[in-house]
Structure 1
């Protein structure tokens, strides 16, 4: 019963937002409350509060990371990047989309989706708007970039898989490097397709139009701080290093960095108020969604729907599937991590899958590698906070973004799975050892 309710809750939520019957914020609250009442009567209040408490640090992280990177954009930290992209692209949509894919992969080396979206959108949005290019295409390329780079050991899923199966992270990750390269190649192909479409639609800028665009981008707003460029770059680099090595909890790092950015670039109270007010809409829209997602996850976990879905999905696995459990797990991981959190999948379901696979001669390391192939699909889950940041920054509809990203993300998963089997990272079919 709980499995049916959990699956129906996720399906109803996605149907409502994809058909634009409800906004994401409303659906994240109304849908789980309705299903929570069916599952647990009138005892869902503490569950929702627990969900809010658990997502509180995430909401703080997103709030201050948006403020920080917005302030860096205002101060002009990304202006050299914008000028560099313009110089290389020469007003050609094809080159801009290829540059977007390369930038997304490069910035995503830190393994964090929110940071990648903030930096890439801040740098590229002025160019896209000036040329009238599709922001949805940008969003799709960036989602796929994170889907690939999330496999990095510090990205989270690989470390979870290794921990759950008591493996060395290197044994899981290193064989996956060629798979990531194949995923990057696919990302470039998709960028090529998008670029050719947009080149046909908007054309390539003439020499005069290109000079005009350069003049527009070269105009410096009053709130730019060019003299502070290297100080701001240094602050940002130190922040990213601190994020990677874990000097302090992420929300605390961004709160401190935002305070320093305000103090350095906009010392007067009037300037600080003006800059914070300029970005308040983005902050409120994202943080509101995250807190609403707390209601969703609180009820999903508190009612036991997640546990029931995990166990019942494993029970219905047919016997004939046993020898094919490695590629099946790769595909299943996309579906599973879309419906439940990474923690629920890697610590609750993967050990059971791996134990079953051993009966067919499939090693734990192979199952761990298979389990991270579905990460591109996970990024489209309503449980992933960074996606809300992306759609808010680009002013996209959440449901439209899910629907339009999905086919390309599925393609990325299949390419990564095919390459994993081609390179011998995963077996197509195993026999008893």
Structure 2
């Protein structure tokens, strides 16, 4: 009976989110609370929800301060010299332009926001593609691939959701998959270079013509953007980013504290007045609050599902109907399917509805939950998010580039799927999970 109630709760959650009957935040709170009351748990429901919120609090704190930290150093101009240097290096040579597009997208995606990545990367690079009459689908593809692989960062939406839904430390999930992410990025850069070479041949740009005669495009800033820049503090901000990320990855301090301290230093160094500090926090508060509210709501959902026993009952039911000898294949199969699943499930539906059931069923058969989380990050809303019609960032990307969604998907999905499979195989080779 408890397993059936849990299944119905998951199905109602998926339906209400994917059909847009309810927002993710509302569904993650209302649906499990209603299910717990129907199941006869009464006032215990509050204790279940509170337990889930307490477990997820460090993840929420890390995300909020990661958004603020990267937003502040970006406002201060940390990326400007990098963008200018990339534009100068790529010149008007297609192979360099395409590779530069991929590199720039990977660097800008440090803050974990697909929308920001596309808004910062596409405009300066698009002018080069249009000037040389290059295929704009290539720009959308390499930027999507680069941002997708980078989206598996510890403060990226998928990793945060995986950690929150399975109540696992982010470092335990992320550190073992770093080699797979590195291989994924190298694959993106190799594909970008190959695309660029193809464009040079198609456009008849060879030899001196392909070099562009030393010309290059410039990156223009608005008056408001220039007012926020702190070019003299570039190296201070660069060292600060390295220290924050290094401390987090090395485990010197908890991730939430790393980003808290980093945010404080970034504000004091770049915007010493209280009014300036308030303005910078306000500028990035909307993005931080939106995700934080979803994560806290997810805490209610995971707390009720876990504490009530519904999740365990469903997992036991699934485990009882799966041959024990096949369980070790779960992570590899999920890794292969993860990218296509982005076309079927939005991140909240998958990470809070589907993944916990799969992970708990696997755990009942001896498969560590962390392996299922790592497998999901090989594609589900990482490489998959920039082509999924379930994410607004996809429509922003095709809108900025000026192509149709169908054209973008036909051109880009095979590339992203191939990269996802390569990352999954890398995890097998490095022993993250078996085949």
How would you bin the TM-score normalised by the shorter chain?
Answer: 0.5 to 0.7
**Pairwise CA distance, 1:67:** 0.9
Q: Is the 8 A contact 1:82 1:124 kept in 2?
A: no
**Pairwise CA distance, 1:85:** 3.3
**Pairwise CA distance, 1:37:** 2.6
Which of 326, 331, 334 is the aligned partner of 2:333? 331
Partner of 2:277: 272
Counterparts of residues 25-424 of structure 1 (less than 5 Å):
25-43=25-43, 44-90=45-91, 98-99=99-100, 117=112, 125-130=119-124, 138=143, 141-147=146-152, 183=184, 187=188, 214-217=218-221, 221-318=226-323, 322=325, 325-332=327-334, 338=351, 349-350=362-363, 352-353=365-366, 372-377=374-379, 414-415=421-422
Q: 1:237 to 1:342 in 2, by over 3 A?
A: farther
Distance 1:33 1:273 in 2: 36
Q: Is the 8 A contact 2:65 2:256 kept in 1?
A: yes
Q: 1:376 to 1:96 in 2, by over 3 A?
A: farther
**Pairwise CA distance, 1:75:** 0.8
Q: 1:395 to 1:260 in 2, by over 3 A?
A: farther
**Pairwise CA distance, 1:19:** 3.1
Secondary structure of the 1:216 match is coil
**Pairwise CA distance, 1:60:** 1.4
Q: Is the 8 A contact 2:331 2:434 kept in 1?
A: no
Greater Cα shift, 65-74 or 231-240 = 231-240
Q: 1:353 to 1:57 in 2, by over 3 A?
A: closer
**Pairwise CA distance, 1:103:** 6.3
Under a length normalisation based on structure 1, what TM-score does the superposition of the two structures give? 0.64
Q: Is the 8 A contact 1:98 1:192 kept in 2?
A: yes
Q: Is the 8 A contact 2:65 2:259 kept in 1?
A: yes
**Pairwise CA distance, 1:83:** 1.9
Q: 1:11 to 1:252 in 2, by over 3 A?
A: same
Greater Cα shift, 91-100 or 51-60 = 91-100
CA deviation profile, 1:287-317 (whole Å, cap 9, x unmatched)? 2222122112111212222222322222111
Distance 1:22 1:148 in 2: 28
Partner of 1:204: none
Distance 1:145 1:65 in 2: 15
Under a length normalisation based on structure 2, what TM-score does the superposition of the two structures give? 0.64
**Pairwise CA distance, 1:189:** 8.1
Partner of 1:15: 15
Distance 1:49 1:312 in 2: 27
CA deviation profile, 1:250-282 (whole Å, cap 9, x unmatched)? 212211221111111111112112222222211
Distance 1:299 1:146 in 2: 28
**Unaligned residue ranges in structure 1 (runs of 5+):** 109-113, 158-162, 164-168, 197-206, 355-363, 381-389, 429-433
Distance 2:280 2:373 in 1: 43
**Pairwise CA distance, 1:414:** 4.5
**Pairwise CA distance, 1:36:** 2.8
Number of residues paired by the alignment? 376
Distance 1:191 1:149 in 2: 25
Distance 1:266 1:138 in 2: 31
Q: 1:55 to 1:63 in 2, by over 3 A?
A: same
Q: 1:253 to 1:314 in 2, by over 3 A?
A: same
Q: 1:419 to 1:353 in 2, by over 3 A?
A: same
Q: 1:294 to 1:140 in 2, by over 3 A?
A: farther
Distance 1:410 1:83 in 2: 32
Distance 2:192 2:5 in 1: 39
Q: 1:236 to 1:122 in 2, by over 3 A?
A: farther
